Structure 1
Amino acid sequence: MNKSAIDAATDPADQARALRDHRYRSATTHEIGREKIREFARAIKNFHPAHWNEEAAAELGFNGLIAPPTFASIILLGVHREILDTLVNGYDSHRILHADHVLDLGRPLVTGDRISCDVYFESFRHFADYDVLAVKSVLTDQHGVVIQTGSTALLARTGTDSAGLAHRVGGIAMRCPDAPPTPGVVIPAEGNATVAPVSSRIPCTTVDFESLSIGTQLPARVVHLSRNDLVDYAGVTGDADPVLFGEQSATSTGLPTVVAPDMLKLGLAAGYLGGWLGDPAAATRFRAQFAHYTHYLHIPPPQASAIEFRGRITSLDPYRRKATVALDARSHGRRLFGYAAAEVLFPKVD
């Protein structure tokens, strides 16, 4: 093997570029358990009864507890880590950011589901100080039905990690697997298998669609988030990024203090929306932009940070009984999303 071939095999940018038009099929099947749903709901402060009580979930038409909309982030975090450990192993996983994130929901994950995951590598480019790998994740249930998809751009900051962030996590008890997962396989992507799932369910919202108009404001809600909450979330999801709970690790990257994970912010926003709707499964799409540093949620010690959530109707589709809701979250005077919105379905009138 000549030197150029060796460089191509070891340079992470070349590794990522070579993955275009391929997909990674994870060898792990994820079984959705009721206690894991409750742990995750607790970690994102989502106390809708359908996440906790089977009878409440049955009233919405489900035969088990339903997971909050962003529960799949647990699965995707693990699969993305597999990819970074086995396929694109030159990047520091603690320097990976997520840019625009789109989550399409055919239905929520339910107790007893056995979920498989495929990740499609759609594009690669270099932008400023980042290598950008756009990926689409497809979650399939035990019946072979695609139930959720997620699109995101993984931003890997290039350069030397002189701060040694990966070694700065200490004293945090993380519930990680006893052994590394079995590596998956990379195969060519064939056809358009990443079409967003379609929800055929009749929503059970408590909000009257006819009462809405463009500009309608949702009631505000305030949530408090502490550093202990960050540790709980990290323990449930397995996210061991040291800037989430290590003061020295955070400040060495230029942050004023530790920050909350982006998917935790989106999970809180989804819980806020579901609480207003009365049916957390009525939302069929979430989109959020949260890569810019000005949108970090800072958690200074020792007090908890207050987050105020608001929403506003920005479009209505009377034929499909669909509304688009712009979501806003602010803490310490800072916006936590560059942009965030959800699409919601309402029951049709007979």
Structure 2
Amino acid sequence: MKLLAGTRVVVLADHLVDFGGSMLARLGADVLLADAAPLTNARKRAWHKGMSRTDAPLADLLESADILLDDRRSDARGGVDALASLHPQLIHVVVTGFPDSDRPVTDLTLMAQSGLMHVTGQPDRPPLRLPGEQAYALTGIQAATAALMGLRARRASGKGQRITLSALQSAALANYREAVMYEHTGRIGMRQGNMLVRGSSGVRQIWPCKDGFVTWSMIDNPGMMRALVRVMQAEGAAGELAEIDWDAILVADTDQDVIDRWQAIVAEFFARHDRKTLADWSLEHGWGLSPIIKLTEVPDSPQMRARGVFDDDGLPGPLFAVHEGRAS
């Protein structure tokens, strides 16, 4: 049995709630895509998996709906609020581009105004957007989350509710470190490229290895650093790292020239091994390292296979299903 079996969702889609509707469908809800423009097959596969398209009037659809995902990316959809207000049990999630505004937005403008582009890329080059339409996806995730919270609240109170959120806030919250830093320090983050800057020095984040790349950073975690160095020693590759008392130093306060010298030793070690070997060592010893997998490898990764995230066609499948009384 799927988690949302018996739940009916109506989706008015205009890019911002599309992925949210698909998420609810994969959780087992009956999701109806209403009042939508003609869709390409690629968009259907990427954004509308699990939804059924309908031309029925919205007034009729709301008679049996539990949730309405109301996308107002580029227009105010006049009359929807009045129809929704006739159904006190309805969870009405209204998503606009900006808070309390129906000003139009695009994925590009959301990436820029949320600050995500400001911190993405090399410091001496123009800002970059993330690939695909990730601002839309981030907003869809928040829309689905809001709908689930509304369902829980309805179970407790017996009443539906109107929930509002904005795509700008959804994208900005994904840029969590910069927003938190600004709130507490007033500092505006900048593009750092392949560098995590803390204190007076910066450490590398992406490293080439024998068959691709891994992500790892030399941070102030003595246990992690000792675990890495132990394996490097066993491989005859630790060099001066074996002589460092990691409990007695702060990496963030170490001179950049020294950091760069230490990182050169780590870089040579990583370059000698493939992603799987490094990832297995990381899991066994607690390095905090992760392999960077290619897009073509995602459906067959052990984590995705174990969770059944992708179906036999390599497309995203049910996110959660209930088997023998357990969610998996």
TM-score clears 0.5: no
TM range (shorter): under 0.3
- Larger Cα Rg: Structure 1 or Structure 2? 2
Q: Which has the higher contact order (CA 8 A, sep 6+)?
A: 1
Higher strand content, 1 or 2? 1
TM normalised by structure 1 equals: 0.23
TM normalised by structure 2 equals: 0.24
Higher helix content, 1 or 2? 2
